[in-house]
Amino acid sequence: MKALRRFTVRAHLPQRLSALAALSTNLRWSWHGPTQDLFAELDPELWREVGQDPVRMLGEVPAARLDELAADDDYVARVEAADAGLRDYLTRPRWFQEQSGTDVAGIAYFSMEFGVTEVLPNYSGGLGILAGDHLKAASDLGLPLIGVGLLYRSGYFRQSLSADGWQLEHYPALDPQGLPLKLLTSEDGSPVLIHVGMPEGRVLRARVWIAQVGRIPLLLLDSDIAENDPELRAVTDRLYGGDQDHRIKQEILAGIGGVRAVRAYTHANGLPDPDVFHMNEGHAGFLGVERIREFVAAGLDFDTALAAVRAGTVFTTHTPVPAGIDRFPMSLVRRYFGGSEAESTLLPGLALDQILAFGREADPGVFNMANMGLRLAQRANGVSKLHGEVSRDMFASLWPGFDASEVPIGSVTNGVHAPTWAAREWLDKARELVGPELVEEARGWENLSDVDLGELWSTRQELRGVLIDEVRRRVRASWRQRGAAEAELGWVDSVFDPNVLTIGFARRVPTYKRLTLMLRDPDRLRALLLDPERPVQLVVAGKSHPADDGGKALIQQVVRFADDPAVRHRIVFLPDYDMSMARYLYWGCDVWLNNPLRPLEACGTSGMKSALNGGLNLSIRDGWWDEMFDGENGWSIPSADGVTDEVRRDDLEAAALYELVERTVAPRFYDRDERDVPVRWTEMVRHTLQTTSPQVLASRMVADYAQQYYGPAAAAFAKVSTDDFAGARALAEYRTRVDQAWPSVRVLQVDSSGLDIPVIGADLSLRARIDLAGLSPDDVTVEAVIGRVSPTDELTETTAFAMSLEGVTDGVHDFAITAPVPLSGAVGYTVRVLPRNALLASPAELGLVAVATG
């Protein structure tokens, strides 16, 4: 008989072990080895069976075993020490508390997915894991941050393979009661319900689960409750499942419901209202509209509310791939936000057209969530230096008249949470050979120079061994699942060789990541795998979006190749890539391969996790690798950037990849000294650990956000909100005035002198006559822009000089400057007028500029 429904009953803990409850529900255990050990010790076998999940462990361990350990003074003492350690971690002032000048009351961080631990499978890939790492590092650094997202009944999906290698999807349902979550309740103990309006007068309700991630609460909205009708119950069923209609409901719940959940949470806990709201990708963009509604309800006019919201909002864009950006039909947004020019039904007080305008793009029928993010946030960034550049280009049309380099989108390069992703073996070795400060405080990397190469190599060998055991276990399970009998699987024991160069490739399977580039020339790949002297072995993993048959076909190609008895001991495809598998790959692979179509990989973080474990990256110079490859921490696969024929480009880049592996990577790995240590290789490992690791840390990333984005956003919000939003009113009034005047602002005439004998450094004098169309000279900056000029008169390498006001004649303002010519060669100049206001974050912010025309 099958159960209709399942639920989880938590065990009653002996009093002496009662601290295990708190240790199991604060997810800090997921990056704290000693706490994991305590749960493992309850029953090592069971610990593996329950997927290393402390809450399940406590539910399933026999009471007799708990009683036995309650009588074990040593175990009890360690539980108490871990409990005291956790309390200390949660209360002691940390990095953020020691910063001066970063006065931030609170940050609400919104993301559609969070990958904190495999126990809470609320993520699909890089974006979610990054969000999880962001919370963990924010906890370590002591930021006053609250995470906000949705709790999906079935997470993303579990992947397995059919006999012929086709991806199969499963959606096991999670029981929130069995997860490390607690409900947000009101004073009387009843669950808080968030309400969000839906078309036809319906109401979507959601309860709010709290996952405690160290010091950081993560609020997860859940619509699967009896108060909703079946259709609305299903809103939080799956991550990235369903159609556009389903998706917009999820995003409305995450954005609008998310803000309401934050209010309920801070209110219940006596916390200050967050002053900074961070949209991790455009999906949660509706949060900005809800905040405008709040301000309007409190009496501000729309423009003032918008100015206030923008000041405190940060938007991070995560992909240059158009398919990765949410674009809804305008008609759909219209339907959900409803109403008229006077009032939206979903957000009363706002006009529908005002909301629709936030998502406008070139195609009038489309509502673009990234554009909304950019319009609602005064500060925005990409996730690596190169991606910042690509994003400035990509979104340049929102700032017409500005060069792409002036588009106000910066960058913070992603990072990874070292305590989560570095192997215990490395942490132990670092403590022993360098000192605890390296592990506890990420200090003292330079001392790695003194560590013996043999020591480093032995850890690399050990971790490759751990990976190989895991590979064999998973290959066996996969074949069993594909229908093979145990008796046919003897060969699995010789899958992979502990002494062979091991290359990993694991990621989601969108086209631009090119899962099958390695298969471009199958014979050449076979030759690499089977090389008698210097073989390589390859572990591949990745999920394709369930609706993407193209991606599934790529997976099938790899599986079919790897099924061949001639190579199956050297190449494996492991189904169900997730955090629990990924960590073995990062620990054990010697080389981490990444071959995206440049520049479509915004950052990429898997290679960072590999580097943290001494893995050497072999990658196209895209994302993070473009800025962190230094010639000694791995290899760059030459990319054929200019080649527009994609087939030819793949051919060229695949050939370059084979060549590198054959001529450079493998020979170095197999070049051994008398102790059988590959000296040059291990020097690269040491160099990577020493110089790349400290750059890829999530703590570096979150500190960058705190200093470059959260601090300035909180300061900007304070400026516009004091004195009952006097600043926001002034800024809104300024914006309206400038918007109205701008079409008539003109550079009427420009005269120069001093160019008779042009030499570099000589003074150039410019005078410009400007029609300010009624604006005051204080409202603008008039700039002379001097730079290199192309045959088509494009200016590059520009330097801008502010011109000073000389006088007014007949309502026309005269500005002048004398400046040294900064360049030699073909030089040009122009004059432009920009808005100027102390409350603007950048002169390009309003997208207004008047440039002299010839």
Ligand X SMILES: *Cc1c(COP(=O)(O)O)cnc(C)c1O
Residue number, 27 or 582, with CB nearest to ligand X: 582
User: Is 313 a binder of ligand X (CB under 6 A)?
Assistant: no
> Looking at residue 350, what DSSP letter applies?
S
User: Is 474 a binder of ligand X (CB under 6 A)?
Assistant: no
Stretch binding ligand X (CB under 6 A), from 8-16, 75-83, 84-92, 606-614: 606-614
Stretch binding ligand X (CB under 6 A), from 23-31, 60-68, 598-606, 677-685: 598-606
What is the separation of C-alpha 320 from the centre of its chain, rounded to a whole number of angstroms?
13
Residue number, 129 or 150, with CB nearest to ligand X: 129
Stretch binding ligand X (CB under 6 A), from 69-77, 145-153, 160-168, 605-613: 605-613
Residue number, 624 or 734, with CB nearest to ligand X: 624
**Alpha-carbon span 240 to 231, nearest angstrom:** 17
User: Which residues in 335-354 contact ligand X (CB under 6 A)?
Assistant: none
User: Is 682 a binder of ligand X (CB under 6 A)?
Assistant: no
Tell me the one-letter amino acid at 602: A
User: Is 320 a binder of ligand X (CB under 6 A)?
Assistant: no
Q: Which SS3 state, helix, strand or coil, does residue 808 take?
A: strand
Choose which of 274, 604, 614, 615 interacts with ligand X (CB under 6 A).
Answer: 604
Shortest distance, position 246 Cβ to ligand X, whole Å: 23
- Phi, psi dihedral angles at 848 (to 5 degrees): -115, 130
Residue number, 117 or 682, with CB nearest to ligand X: 117
Stretch binding ligand X (CB under 6 A), from 68-76, 121-129, 197-205, 213-221: 121-129
**Alpha-carbon span 689 to 693, nearest angstrom:** 5
Shortest distance, position 508 Cβ to ligand X, whole Å: 6
Choose which of 19, 27, 38, 129 interacts with ligand X (CB under 6 A).
Answer: 129
Region at 339 (left for phi over 0; alpha for psi -120 to 50; beta for the rest):
left
Shortest distance, position 536 Cβ to ligand X, whole Å: 20
With the C-alpha atoms ordered 443, 446, 450, 451, is the resulting torsion angle positive or negative?
positive
Contact pattern from residue 558 through residue 577 relative to ligand X, giving x for each residue in contact according to CB under 6 A and a dash for the rest: -------------------x
Residue number, 35 or 617, with CB nearest to ligand X: 617
User: Is 125 a binder of ligand X (CB under 6 A)?
Assistant: yes
End-to-end CA distance of the chain: 84
Q: Is the peptide bond before 596 cis (omega within 30 degrees of 0)?
A: no
What's the length of the chain? Answer: 854
Tell me the one-letter amino acid at 592: W
Residues touching ligand X, count (CB under 6 A): 13
Shortest distance, position 604 Cβ to ligand X, whole Å: 4
Residue number, 354 or 606, with CB nearest to ligand X: 606
Q: At what angle do helices 73-91 and 33-42 cross, to 10 degrees?
A: 150
Shortest distance, position 128 Cβ to ligand X, whole Å: 8
Tell me the one-letter amino acid at 567: V
550 CB-contact burial (10 Å; exposed 0-12 / middle 13-18 / buried 19+)? exposed
User: Is 578 a binder of ligand X (CB under 6 A)?
Assistant: yes
User: Which residues in 416-445 contact ligand X (CB under 6 A)?
Assistant: none
User: Which residues in 608-647 contact ligand X (CB under 6 A)?
Assistant: 609
Residue number, 337 or 587, with CB nearest to ligand X: 587
**Alpha-carbon span 144 to 135, nearest angstrom:** 10
Shortest distance, position 594 Cβ to ligand X, whole Å: 7
Q: Which SS3 state, helix, strand or coil, does residue 205 take?
A: strand
Q: At what angle do helices 369-376 and 286-297 cross, to 10 degrees?
A: 40
- Please give, one letter per residue, the 3-state secondary structure of 250-271: HHHHHHHHHHHHHHHHHHHCCC
User: Is 388 a binder of ligand X (CB under 6 A)?
Assistant: no
Planar angle of CA 779, 783, 784, nearest 5 degrees: 165
Residue number, 140 or 622, with CB nearest to ligand X: 622
Shortest distance, position 26 Cβ to ligand X, whole Å: 22
User: Is 274 a binder of ligand X (CB under 6 A)?
Assistant: no
- Close Cβ partners of 453 (under 8 Å, ≥ 6 residues apart): 677, 679, 682, 683, 686
Shortest distance, position 846 Cβ to ligand X, whole Å: 34
Stretch binding ligand X (CB under 6 A), from 73-81, 599-607, 641-649, 747-755: 599-607
User: What is the DSSP pairing of strand 616-620 with strand 634-637?
Assistant: parallel
Q: Which SS3 state, helix, strand or coil, does residue 573 take?
A: strand
User: Is 290 a binder of ligand X (CB under 6 A)?
Assistant: no
Nearest Cα residue to 95 out of 709, 705, 713: 705
Choose which of 409, 582, 703, 844 interacts with ligand X (CB under 6 A).
Answer: 582
User: Is 126 a binder of ligand X (CB under 6 A)?
Assistant: yes
Residue number, 507 or 568, with CB nearest to ligand X: 507
Unique residue bearing structure tokens 């290393």: 52
User: What is the DSSP pairing of strand 536-541 with strand 366-368?
Assistant: unpaired
Unique residue bearing structure tokens 């219940």: 268
- Phi, psi dihedral angles at 272 (to 5 degrees): -70, 155
Shortest distance, position 579 Cβ to ligand X, whole Å: 5
Unique residue bearing structure tokens 């590198």: 660
User: Is 411 a binder of ligand X (CB under 6 A)?
Assistant: no
**Alpha-carbon span 304 to 732, nearest angstrom:** 5
Choose which of 223, 413, 605, 617 interacts with ligand X (CB under 6 A).
Answer: 605
- Phi, psi dihedral angles at 439 (to 5 degrees): -80, -45
Shortest distance, position 695 Cβ to ligand X, whole Å: 16
Shortest distance, position 543 Cβ to ligand X, whole Å: 9
**Alpha-carbon span 328 to 602, nearest angstrom:** 23
Shortest distance, position 270 Cβ to ligand X, whole Å: 36
Residue number, 294 or 578, with CB nearest to ligand X: 578
**Alpha-carbon span 301 to 291, nearest angstrom:** 13
User: Which residues in 208-237 contact ligand X (CB under 6 A)?
Assistant: none
Stretch binding ligand X (CB under 6 A), from 32-40, 516-524, 603-611, 638-646: 603-611
Stretch binding ligand X (CB under 6 A), from 122-130, 234-242, 721-729, 788-796: 122-130
* Residue-wise DSSP of 17-83: GTHHHHHHHBGGGGG-HHHHHHHHHH-HHHHHHTTS-HHHHHHHS-HHHHHHHHT-HHHHHHHHHHH
User: Is 579 a binder of ligand X (CB under 6 A)?
Assistant: yes
User: Is 104 a binder of ligand X (CB under 6 A)?
Assistant: no
User: Is 606 a binder of ligand X (CB under 6 A)?
Assistant: yes
User: Is 701 a binder of ligand X (CB under 6 A)?
Assistant: no
Stretch binding ligand X (CB under 6 A), from 29-37, 125-133, 630-638, 694-702: 125-133
- Residue 771: how many CA atoms within 13 Å on its side-chain side? 11
**Alpha-carbon span 257 to 726, nearest angstrom:** 28
Residue number, 133 or 845, with CB nearest to ligand X: 133
Contact pattern from residue 491 through residue 510 relative to ligand X, giving x for each residue in contact according to CB under 6 A and a dash for the rest: ----------------x---
**Alpha-carbon span 128 to 130, nearest angstrom:** 5
* Cβ neighbours around 636 below 10 Å, total: 18
User: Is 316 a binder of ligand X (CB under 6 A)?
Assistant: no
Residue number, 251 or 578, with CB nearest to ligand X: 578
- Residue numbers at the binding site for ligand X (CB under 6 A): 125-126, 129, 507, 577-579, 582, 604-607, 609
